[in-house]
Structure 1
Amino acid sequence: MRLIDGDTVHRVLDYPGLVAALRRAHDAGMPDAREMFMEEPDGKNRGRGLIILPAWSAGGMLGVKLVTIFPGNPVAEPPLPANQGLYVAFDGETGAPVLIADGTALTLRKTAADSALGVDLLACHDAASLLMVGAGALAPHVIAAIVSVRPSIRDVWVWNRTAANAQSLARAIRIEGVSVRAVENLEATLPHADIVSSATMATEPLIRGNLLKAGCHVDLVGGWNAQMREADDDVIRRATIFADTRALCRDCGDFLQPVTRGLMRWEDIKADLFELCSGSREGRVSPDEITLFKNSGGGHLDLFVAEELMRRLQAESRANTPAMQA
């Protein structure tokens, strides 16, 4: 069994290769995946919880991600991620544990690559600008992953409610040939963005659909529960709607709230990643079409990433093993 730290996860799973691996995995079909959520028993610290995400590919690997949710961590001293965890993978033939990996790093890579796969399948091929809404731990990974599949991007703009956080992130990112800068006026920037990616804890919409340019691709990473929402009703009205999985997006406020109010139907989701990657349904059909992709996550994605991590590590081991002398 191998113990894999976060630095190794980030080093081994480059974004172009991971996005390609996710595309192949989606073409092969959905594993059996479940979810269990446990709240802190005494309820004194509202919002704390434990998520257990098992998944099992038929004839392949199985695994489980254990994730803690401690919302107060980012403002603690010293600050810590709000979500931390481990991923444990098992051999599909023997049931033996084969890998324990840093769950925080694996989640960052998984989530960013999920959004990047949506961009690769749906965004205009000549997209030149990206607006990143939010400047948390996930933001630099989403930026790197999206730029990796759209090397045509030349401008990245970062907006955050706390301007200093956007400025700090913009200074920290270095991508050859790409200008990265913080912006203070979200509404003034939205009309210029070819791709808008939002990874926030917003409960009121930040992205206004009437401001989006023709051909824009919108990637929603936050809004994972019924109370949270990142995009307003005009985004739903104007966009062609896609999701990473049809089932898991039903708990997300950006879709659930409009459905509850009769603004959209679940049938309005044109395709998910499994349908797009298999070619059973088409994606963008026009350069002027606005596309909306909901990144819902899920244990199946963690399993896909763990499988690719295991393949990469095994390949490294073979490459570093001296050839047997005849």
Structure 2
Amino acid sequence: MQYIDANTVHQSLEYPELISALRKAFREQRVQVPQRHHHHYRYSAGHDHENTLLLMPAWQADGYLGVKTVVVAPDNQNEPTIQGQYTLIDAATGTPRLVMDAASITARRTAAASALAADYLAPVDANTLLMVGTGTLAPELVRAHASIRPIKEVLIWGRSADKARAVAATLQGESFDVSLCNDIQSGMQRADIVSCATMSKTPLIYGKWLREEQHIDLVGAYRPDMREADDLLIRRVALYADVMPHALNETGDLAIPIAEGVITPQSVLGDLPSLCKSPAPAERTGVTCFKSVGHALEDLVAASLVHARVESGSSAG
């Protein structure tokens, strides 16, 4: 059985193709996705955060079955924060086809899902993007959004200036200008799209900083005790999630304001399946917000594309 490394995964997943495949899959809803497993554990007393084990299965009866096994280790210093593997299996026979790097699958499909949502929700002429966060997802989110909107300027904010500079360097040579942002508030005043991908436990972006027309992309805060946006922002925006109802209790950006009565579950106006059944892009006014939690359908779609590309390359060779 072949192992596909991160570099091959990245080379196999171009954003326009991946976004299109996700749109089709969310629209058709033929992929079965049971509830994923979250298991939290503390590695040692000296670590500040718990690690999280994620088990995410999905299958399409006449296609593939896939299982992603991921460990998120926030305190890692010399190793990536997110590591794991994705196993793609023939659903009819149960025969494993490929094992591939899960972190690269996760990064690409997460960024593509945010871009897919933005294609329905963000201003069609959005040209300035603020990226809050400097992790693995940051450059992927920037590239994905730039693939569906005419992004000309990208601002990078991070708690570490060195990490922000590293992200900016990664993006050199792209079709947009990149600069560092020292203050989130001033960055939000300039940005048409604000993408936030952090592990923050307290809000980083605030409703009082919103413009009249803007799109907010909340990607981090993957646990119920984490959040990136304050109550005012969540209450003021037209709110969407990737897939309901599991998004309501897996992230603090939704679970905390719901528990405290700031919003209700009905405050979430739609999800990717409902958005993908409508034309895109659509003219919208006001401020929209997409909360990404992650969905195993996205992994299966991405892994299937990698398999197709690898098989095509093998056949060509």
TM range (shorter): over 0.9
Larger gyration radius, structure 1 or structure 2: 1
Residue among 278, 295, 310 paired with 1:313: 310
Structure 1 residues 153 and 206: alpha-carbon distance in aligned structure 2, compared to 1, 3 A threshold: same
Q: Residue 23 of structure 2 aligns with which residue? A: 23
Offset of residue 20 of structure 1: 0.9
Q: Residue 277 of structure 1 aligns with which residue? A: 276
- Separation in structure 2 between the aligned mates of residue 304 and residue 168 of structure 1, nearest angstrom: 30
Offset of residue 105 of structure 1: 1.0
- Separation in structure 1 between the aligned mates of residue 143 and residue 283 of structure 2, nearest angstrom: 26
Structure 1 residues 149 and 284: alpha-carbon distance in aligned structure 2, compared to 1, 3 A threshold: closer
Decide whether the 8 Å contact of 1:271 with 1:282 is kept in 2. Answer: no
Offset of residue 282 of structure 1: 9.2
Q: Which runs of 5+ in 1 are unaligned?
A: 322-326
What's the Cα RMSD here? Answer: 2.0
Bigger mean CA deviation after superposition, 43-52 or 235-244: 43-52
Bigger mean CA deviation after superposition, 230-239 or 9-18: 230-239
Decide whether the 8 Å contact of 2:19 with 2:116 is kept in 1. Answer: yes
Matched, 1:289 2:286: yes
State the SS of the aligned residue for 2:221.
Answer: coil
Decide whether the 8 Å contact of 1:34 with 1:299 is kept in 2. Answer: no
State the SS of the aligned residue for 1:234.
Answer: helix
Deviations 1:182-239 (A, max 9, x none): 1111111111110000000111111111211122000000111111111112212221
- Separation in structure 2 between the aligned mates of residue 136 and residue 42 of structure 1, nearest angstrom: 21
- Separation in structure 1 between the aligned mates of residue 169 and residue 283 of structure 2, nearest angstrom: 37
- Separation in structure 1 between the aligned mates of residue 180 and residue 103 of structure 2, nearest angstrom: 26
- Separation in structure 2 between the aligned mates of residue 28 and residue 56 of structure 1, nearest angstrom: 14
- Separation in structure 2 between the aligned mates of residue 191 and residue 234 of structure 1, nearest angstrom: 16
For 1:217, the aligned partner's letter is H
The percent identity for this pair of structures is 37
Decide whether the 8 Å contact of 1:56 with 1:63 is kept in 2. Answer: yes
For 1:298, the aligned partner's letter is H
Decide whether the 8 Å contact of 2:128 with 2:191 is kept in 1. Answer: yes
Q: Residue 103 of structure 1 aligns with which residue? A: 102
Q: Which runs of 5+ in 2 are unaligned?
A: none
Residue among 48, 54, 57 paired with 2:60: 57
Bigger mean CA deviation after superposition, 126-135 or 103-112: 103-112
Q: Residue 4 of structure 1 aligns with which residue? A: 4
Deviations 1:120-155 (A, max 9, x none): 1211111010000001111011111111111x1110
Residue among 65, 73, 83 paired with 1:70: 73
Structure 1 runs (4+) greater than 6 angstroms displaced: none
Structure 1 residues 227 and 208: alpha-carbon distance in aligned structure 2, compared to 1, 3 A threshold: same
State the SS of the aligned residue for 1:237.
Answer: helix
Deviations 1:236-257 (A, max 9, x none): 2221010111123122111111
Query: In the TM superposition, what are the counterparts of 1:238-253 in structure 2 within 5 Å?
Result: 238-250=236-248, 251-253=250-252
Decide whether the 8 Å contact of 1:66 with 1:87 is kept in 2. Answer: yes
Q: Residue 324 of structure 1 aligns with which residue? A: none
